[in-house]
Amino acid sequence: MRKQAVLVYDGDCAFCTSAVRFAERRLHPRCEATPWQFADLEKLGVSQRRAEHEVLWVTPTGSVHGGAQAVAKLLLSARGGWPVVGALLTLPPVRWAAHGGYRLIAVNRHRMPGGTAACALPAASRGPRQDA
């Protein structure tokens, strides 16, 4: 069993990498952050498809939280006042809004500051077009 949680993110995405580096510098979460491209996904109990789709928080016991709830877990593990924000993100209706906000950012991460074409989700992971 691992001693600490693992945050799995897309290391090919400049926006994702910048966000994780910001969290490491400013929030000091209690986790190991690793790009899914270098993680032993099988050992973590997650599929590559899921890792490509969303950020993941894998607890030491193997529970997996994705998307906005992974962000909430990261904030809950941080120092300072961030755990309060993380706790709020786990409560309905904030949880539902956080999920929607996370999906909106994930689909448009290549357009976000620091984002590049490599940040675009694979077409199969994007879901239906928003402008259709």
In angstroms, the Cα distances linking 115 to 29, 58, 59, 124 are 23, 25, 28, 20
**What are the tens digits of pLDDT across the range 7-33?**
999 998 888 999 999 999 999 999 999
Largest CA distance in the chain: 46
Please say whether the beta carbons of 70 and 10 come within 8 A.
no
Q: Taking the CA of residue 109 as centre, how many other CA atoms within 13 Å lie in the half-sphere pointing to its CB?
A: 26
Task: List, for the chain, all residue ranges whose pLDDT scores fall below the cut of 70.
Answer: 114-132
pLDDT of residue 102: 95
pLDDT of 131 = 32
Closest CA to 98 of 130, 71, 65: 71
Given this model, what pLDDT does residue 132 score?
30
Copy the structure tokens of residue 41: 């996904």
Beta-bridge partner residues of 64: 58
Q: Are 49 and 8 in contact (CB under 8 A)?
A: no
